[in-house]
Each structure stands twice: as C-alpha cells, then as structure tokens.
Structure 1
C-alpha cells in the first residue's frame, strides 16, 4: 500500500493595498485574485474537504495588536480552517486600500502565522498574489538567502502569481522585486504563474492525481515465466456527490434546524407484513417463479478452481484484432515487475513489433473469479512513455453478436473513386495533431487522457456553488467556457473547410419524404391497385355466375330427383356430438 497522502495547509497572501508610494491600488488585480481564491477553495470543498485554508491580507488597515503576525498592514482574514462557503463570501467582500506593504514582509508574517496555526503534520504551501513592483530601496533591505532559509526550515513551498510572464524576460527587464522573487523561487524550487494562467488552470475541476496501484502477476509463455506489473492507463472518474435529503425541524433550543433524512429500508409481503433484513433472502424471478439465492448458494456458485494467472495462449496478426473487437472500457499498461526481468520482457516486445503480432492472453484477476480474454498490443517509441504492452479486453464468441456492427462494404462499393478519396480526406482532416509536430505540441497536450475536464461534472459543480452562495436567486445558465469544451477546435474547423466543399460537390443531395409518409403512400397505392383488380374480377365473376345459374337450371329440370334421396345425413345427430 502506498503511504497516505498528507492533507494540505494553504495560506493565501493577497495584496489589497499598494506596493509603491504614490501609486493607486489595482481593483482589477484584486478581482483576479478573488477568482483564483474562490475556485481553489471550491475545489477543496468538493474534492478535498479535509484540507485547511488560511488568508492573509497585505496592505490592510490594522494595527500590530490586532494580528497574530504583528506586522504593520498585514492581517489574517481568518484562522486556519477547512474550506467553507462563509470564507468564500468573506473573500468576495474584500476591497482595495491605500496602505503600503511589500511581499517580503508578508512572507515572514505568513511563516509566523503557519507556526501559530498549523499544529498538525501537513503539506504546507504559500500562494503569493501580487504585482511585484516594489521600489528598489525597499527590495534591497531583504536578502535572498534569508527568505529561502526561513521557508526551507519550516518546509514551506512557495507558489507566486504575478501579472507578467517572467520566464521569457531577461533579468535586465525585470523589476528589482521580480528579480528577488525569481531568485527565491530558484533557491527553494518554487513555482511562478501569471494570473491568466492560474485563472484558466483553477477554473475547471479536473481529475485529481492519484498514485497508481500496480497489479502483479506472472506472465506465462509455455514453460517460460516473466513477472509483470499491470497499471491502469485511465484512473477512475470522479463521482459526483450523492444527494442528501434534508428536513427542517424545530426544538426548544434551536428553532428551524436542518437535519438529514435517513432512509430505512422495509420489506413487506402481499399481506403488508413488515419483515426485517435478517428474514430476507434475495433471489431471481423467472417464469413467474421465485428462485431464492442465499449467501451459501452464492459461495457455491462461484468458481473454486480458478487461480490468479496471466497465460499467453498464442499470437495472431495485428489485423485480425480490429477495433470492433475491443471490449473493455479501459486498458492496462503491462511492464516488467523489476529490472532483473526487463531483458526477456523487452525482447518479447521487440519480437512482437518485428512480427507485427498481438498476444492472446487468458487473465484471471484474482483467485476464484471468472477468466477473461485480453489482447496485448506492443507499444514502442512513443514520446515520454516506456516500452510496454497495452492490454485491451476481448469478447467471447457468444458475446460478439451483441456488439457486432453492420458491414459497410455494400455502401463503399457504390462510391466512385472521387467520392472515396473525399471521404478519406475528411477523416484525415478530423485527426488531432501528433505530439511529434513541433507546431502542435501545446495543442496536442490538451487532448491527452485526463487533460480535458468533464463538461457535465463541471456544470454540476458550478450549479452547486451558485446554489450555496446565492440560495435565493435562480440558477445561472451554462457558462460559455463550459460550452466551448464541446465545440470543435478552431484548427480542425479550418482544416475541414476545403474538404467539406468537396463533399458538397461530389455528393448530390435529394430531398426525400419521411419514411412513414413513403410507407403510407405505398400502402395506399397497393390498396388502390387491389381494389381496381377486385372490381374487374367481380364483373367477370358475375357474368360467369349468371351463365352457370342458367346452365344449372336447365340441368336441374332434366335430372330432377326426389328430395328424400338427395342427402342421407341426419342433422339431428349434431346435438349428440
């Protein structure tokens, strides 16, 4: 088991005053800082409710006696606490002041605040938000080594957020405050972000990083065994919070108190008799007959002879495993369990690449569970990824009918060469860029697994936040930046424009009536044809019947017999049958 991750203790250093005498406070910068603080605290509320948060204001109107830090114009907005909606409301009410303060003084004040407030063991971070434009004579009063040593002794990491991007700026173009900040960050391994970058980074709720849990087994190839480790390529999605029913109750001490409603399961039979859970045996109903399955029966139904295994049954050509056979929702990355077995493992991977084959494997995840069939695809020469085998589940033959698709060969044979080429070009224009393209590296990284946020989950978080902060107002519409997640990328749209024009020219579109109207017209025409044929047939049959009647009358007069000898059937016997 990996070690349990420590909780985070984040202290926000927010500049609400001025950093240079004679300048004016920047309200736009404060609004950006509010946006960042609000979304970080919201993430803590939803995803990491045990993490603690503290806020220190630089440039506030206070005296030394009112603050734990005992530094002029530096005051804590709150004590260290878990994220909550009241803290977000307090942050939204912040206003700018004309008080002077430097971030260097605030760093020492934040360290004293951490010593006073953070008593439990935690991962400590300071997020500093300012424009870093202090005067040079103020900056010269502080030393890089002193600030770095103070942070390092308390094991505090520093993240600075400023207005300008300092990575691509020469040191001569930096202000004295920015140069001091970058030196401190370099000493302690800190991080620097711009306000725009930080705002786009905290806006969306992404999947939290988790430490992979490897699955160990021995891969069998005949009499040859290789210890392997399987790691899930895609971590599990973050589940939305469950709804909790609340009810208002009143007590003499606390009127209008909201308490959660607990659901108690009850089972009743046809006679409305209530039974407890101990009296219940679950089962199935087939053909109107209940088939009970007790816990003992479940244990007897589970396989007892299966052992944990990973056995290669054979190899097949890669084209024999098309994408329509890929059954599993996710995939595993198979790597050697340790360095001592890396040589035979990578020799197998290289041989599979050379022969262009895929391995068919029987996998039993744990003892006494059902066996599954999987395919192993070799993966080599992928940037920033090791050589490995990619495991993808396969269906059994009896299950393939449920996922089989209708073949498109008949439709493809009807296309001309020009139409077929246009379809190929359209599919090519819809492809996302590869990471090897230097001009598209930044673009391609946005479409890696786990990078794009879930629009549905993001909208749910936004609605919950709006309802918590403004319970009496109607819910806002879907945000535009959430809608943009579902839009086609601009560079893909530009690539598709000329191809779509070709599609319009080579394919002719005909307006057709809906299928139900066409069926109704065909059936009506069929009925009309049958009615017309029926009229002709009736006219012919009437004439024929007239002739037959005349002929029968003539024959009857010639061959008349007594009625008593015409039929010997006794109708009275019908009642006795």
Structure 2
C-alpha cells in the first residue's frame, strides 16, 4: 500500500505595495493575484479540505498591529488555516498601498511564518506573486546562495508568478530582481509562471494527483501462471457531496441557528404502530406467507464458490470483438507484477501482436463475487507508455440485446459512390493530427484521459462558490471557459468545413408529416364541414359513406404508388 499523501501548507506572498520609490502601485496586478488566490482556495475547499493556507502581504502598513515576523511593511493577513469562504472575502477586500518592500525580505518572513504556524508535518510551499522590479542596490544586499540554502534546509518549495515570461527572455534583458529570482529557482528546482498562465491553470478544479492502487492477481494460461498488476487507466471523477437539508431552530437559552435535518427511517404496520430499524427483520412474501431472512441466514444463502482469478480461456481475431461489444465503464492497464516475470509477460504481448489476436479472460475481482468476461488488447510502441495489455469488459449473451444496435447495411448499400466517399472524408477530417510538431503534441495531450475537466462539475462548483460568497445576488451565467470546453477546436472546424459542404450538396433532407398528423388534419376538416352543414347532414349520409369508401380506395392507390417510388429495398430490410 503506498504511503499516505501529506497535506499541503501553502503560504502566499502577495504584492500590494510598490517596489521602487516614486512609482505607483499596480491595481491590475493585484486583481490578477486576487483571482489566482480565490480559485486556488476554492479548489482546496472543494477537493482538498485538509490543506492549510496562509497569506502574507508585501507592502502593507503594520504599524497598528503586531506581526509574527516583526518586519516593516510585511504582515500576515491571517493565521494558517484550512480553506474557507471568510478567507476569500478578506482577500477580495485587499487594496493597494504606496508602502515599499522587497520580495527577498518577504521570503525570510515567510520561512519564519511557516516555522511558527505549520506545526504538523506537511508539504510546504511558498507562492510568490510580484512584478520583480526592485532597484539594483536593494537586490545587491541579498545573496542567491543564502536564499536557496535557507529554502532547501527547511524543505520548502518555491513557485514564483510574475508579469513577464522570463524563460524566453535573455539574461541581459532581465532586471536584477528577475535575474536573482531565476537563479534561486534553478538552484532549488522551483517553478516560474506568468500571471496569464497561472490564471488559465487555476480556472478549472482538477482532481489532485494520487498514486494508483494496483490490483494484483495470477494470470492463468493453461499451466502457466504470470503475476500481474492491473491499474485503472481512467481515474474516477470526483463526485459532488450530497445535499444536506438545513433547518432553523432556537431555544430560550440559545439564539436561532441552522442545524442539519436528519432523516430517521420508521415503519408502520396495519395498526399504525411505529417500529424502528432495530425491530425490523427483512424477508420475502410468497404465497401469502412472510418468509423472514436474518443477516445470518442471508450469509448462508450466499454461495461461496468463486475464488479470485484471472484466467485466459482462449484467443480470437481482433475483428471478432467490434467496438459495440466494449461494455465496461473503465479501462485497466495490465502490466507484470515485478521484473522477474517481465520476460514471459512481454513474450505473450509480442505473440498477440504478431498473430493479431486478443485474449478472452474470466475475471473474478474478489472471492465470492460474480465472474466477468473481459478482453485483453495488446498495446506496444505507444509514445510515453509501456508495453501492456488493455483490459475492456465484454457483455454476456443475455445482456447484449440491451446494447445491440440496428445494422445500417441496407442504408449503406443505397448510397452512391460520391456519398460514401464524402462520409469517409468526414470521418478522416475528425481525426486528431499526428504528433509531428510541438503544436500537434499539445493538441493530442488535451484529449488524453483525465486531462480535460468535467464541464458539468466545474459549472456546479462555480455556482456553489458564487452562492457562498454572494448569497443575496442572482447566480452568474455559465463561464466562457466552461463553454469553450464543449466547442470544437478551430483547426478541426477548418478541416471539416469543405467536407460538410459536400455532404450538404449530396444529401437532401425533406420535412414530411407523419401519417397520424395527416389523419388528424383530415378528421378536423371533416368535423368543420359537418358543423357548417348540420342542417343537411341526415340527407347526405349515404353520399358521404360512398365518398369515404372512394377516399379509402384512393389512399390505398396512393400508398402503392409511394412504395413503388421509394428507393429503400424493404425485402433486404426484412432479411437482416
């Protein structure tokens, strides 16, 4: 079992003052910093509620209050605490000042603040947000080796966020402050981001990275046994917490307060006598008689014959398992359990690739559970991925009818060559580009499992945050960033545009009324005529009957003519 992940303790160093005498503070830079802090704290509230957060302000006037660091113009906004909405509201109220500061002093203040506040063992980080434009005589007072050594000795990582992209700027074009910062980051292995990059990264609340929990078993192939490890390829999405009903209550001793409402299950019999869960014995009713089944009886009724196994029953050609047979919700990657069994495992993978076959496996995940059938697809020579077997679930014959689709062979036969070629070109245009350059690699990575966040969950988090921070205001509309997740990429639109134009010209759609609509319309017209000619209705009954008979004959003639004019071969449909 992998070691338990430590909680994070993040200290934000936020610039609200100035770094040079005679300059004005940048309110736009503070707004960007607020945006980053707000979204990081919201992510901690939703996904990592145990992580701790502290905020230190650089360039504030701390003459009226005592500070832990006791440094001039550097003060902590709050004590280290878990993420909460009150902290976000305090950050939104921050205003710029004209007090001077330097980020080098703030680093030492943050280290002292961490040692004072972070008592429990945790993964400690400092996120520094500034424009890094201090004067050279101020920068010269600090040494890179001293700053890096202090951070390394305290096991504190550093992430810096600035205005300019320093990775693409020559050292000669960097300010003295930027040069010192990059030297420190290179020495301790830190990270530098621009405000724009950081804002785009924190917009979406992604699932925190965790170590996979492998499932170990013996893969049986005849008399051979190969120890394997199965790892989930697609992580489980984070689920929103369940809604909790709240009610207001008050007592003479305590003021009005909100408390959660607990649902208590109660059962009543024919005499309306209330019974609690402890008095209930579940059972079945057959033939008018109640058959109680206690927990002990239910355990004895459960069969205990299945053992944990992963048994290969045979191999079949890959084309015999089309995509419509792929039934499982997730996908597992099968790799050897250790290096000692890698030779026979990879030999099996190579043999399956050479023969172009897949394996049919009986899988029992845990003892005394039902068996499932899965298919193993060999996967080799995939960039950044090891040789492995991909496990995908298969349906039993009794379950296939629920997912079976009606074949479209009779429709495909009626397409012309131009129409068939247009459909093939459309499918080709929807394929992702090959990874031949950096842009193509970035595009392909966006569509890997777990890369893109769930738009529905993201929108729900945004609405919950808006309701928590502004309970009296209406909810905002869907964010543009969330909408863009559902938009087709521009390069894909350009590729599909000429093909879609061809399809519009080759395929024509005509709006037709259903037979029931036509019958209702004729019936309505007939009722209107009868209401208008109510005086002569009795005299024209026999004539109407003859007309109706004639109309029915005309309808049957029209139906036959329609069938003759239709291009669909109904005989072929019946044979399928």
One fold, TM greater than 0.5? yes
Q: What is the CA-CA distance between 1:265 and the residue it aligns to?
A: 1.2
Q: What is the CA-CA distance between 1:510 and the residue it aligns to?
A: 2.0
CA distance, structure 2, for counterparts of residue 148 and residue 216 of structure 1:
43
Structure 1 residues 299-345: Cα deviation after superposition (integer angstroms, max 9, x where no partner): 23433111111111100000000000001000110000000100110
CA distance, structure 1, for counterparts of residue 157 and residue 69 of structure 2:
19
Q: What is the CA-CA distance between 1:234 and the residue it aligns to?
A: 1.1
Q: What is the CA-CA distance between 1:241 and the residue it aligns to?
A: 1.4
Name the structure 1 match of 2:477: 477
Name the structure 2 match of 1:17: 17
- What is the aligned-residue RMSD (CA, Å)? 2.3
Contact in 2 for aligned 1:18/1:98 (Cα 8 Å): yes
Contact in 1 for aligned 2:426/2:496 (Cα 8 Å): yes
Structure 1, 287-296 or 100-109: larger mean CA deviation: 287-296
CA distance, structure 2, for counterparts of residue 535 and residue 218 of structure 1:
76
CA distance, structure 2, for counterparts of residue 257 and residue 534 of structure 1:
75
Name the structure 2 match of 1:548: none
Point out where structure 2 has 5 or more consecutive residues left out of the alignment: 526-541, 551-576
CA distance, structure 1, for counterparts of residue 217 and residue 408 of structure 2:
41
Contact in 2 for aligned 1:228/1:336 (Cα 8 Å): yes
Name the structure 1 match of 2:460: 460
Name the structure 1 match of 2:318: 318
Matched, 1:304 2:304: yes
Counterparts in 2 of 1:24-173, with a 5 A limit? 24-63=24-63, 66-173=66-173
Name the structure 1 match of 2:531: none
Name the structure 2 match of 1:332: 332
Q: What is the CA-CA distance between 1:288 and the residue it aligns to?
A: 8.6
Counterparts in 2 of 1:283-294, with a 5 A limit? 283=283, 293-294=293-294
CA distance, structure 2, for counterparts of residue 184 and residue 11 of structure 1:
18
Q: What is the CA-CA distance between 1:256 and the residue it aligns to?
A: 1.7
Contact in 2 for aligned 1:64/1:71 (Cα 8 Å): no
Taking a change above 3 Å as real, the CA distance of residues 531 and 391 of structure 1, as seen in their structure-2 partners, is farther
Q: What is the CA-CA distance between 1:208 and the residue it aligns to?
A: 2.0
User: What TM-score comes out, normalization by structure 2 length?
Assistant: 0.89
3-state SS in 2 of match to 1:167: helix
CA distance, structure 2, for counterparts of residue 110 and residue 97 of structure 1:
20
Point out where structure 1 has 5 or more consecutive residues left out of the alignment: 537-577
Q: How many residues end up aligned between the 2 structures? A: 534
CA distance, structure 1, for counterparts of residue 288 and residue 515 of structure 2:
39
Q: What is the CA-CA distance between 1:434 and the residue it aligns to?
A: 4.0
Counterparts in 2 of 1:247-258, with a 5 A limit? 247-258=247-258
Q: What is the CA-CA distance between 1:509 and the residue it aligns to?
A: 2.3
3-state SS in 2 of match to 1:112: helix
Q: What is the CA-CA distance between 1:279 and the residue it aligns to?
A: 2.5
Taking a change above 3 Å as real, the CA distance of residues 91 and 438 of structure 1, as seen in their structure-2 partners, is closer
User: What TM-score comes out, normalization by structure 1 length?
Assistant: 0.88
Q: What is the CA-CA distance between 1:290 and the residue it aligns to?
A: 6.5
> Which entry has the higher C-alpha Rg, 1 or 2?
1
Taking a change above 3 Å as real, the CA distance of residues 341 and 59 of structure 1, as seen in their structure-2 partners, is same
Taking a change above 3 Å as real, the CA distance of residues 519 and 309 of structure 1, as seen in their structure-2 partners, is farther
Q: What is the CA-CA distance between 1:106 and the residue it aligns to?
A: 0.3
Name the structure 2 match of 1:546: none
CA distance, structure 1, for counterparts of residue 176 and residue 285 of structure 2:
79
Counterparts in 2 of 1:145-544, with a 5 A limit? 145-283=145-283, 293-436=293-436, 438-514=438-514, 516-518=516-518, 520=520, 531-532=545-546
Name the structure 1 match of 2:554: none
CA distance, structure 2, for counterparts of residue 114 and residue 372 of structure 1:
52
Contact in 1 for aligned 2:47/2:207 (Cα 8 Å): no
Q: What is the CA-CA distance between 1:12 and the residue it aligns to?
A: 0.3
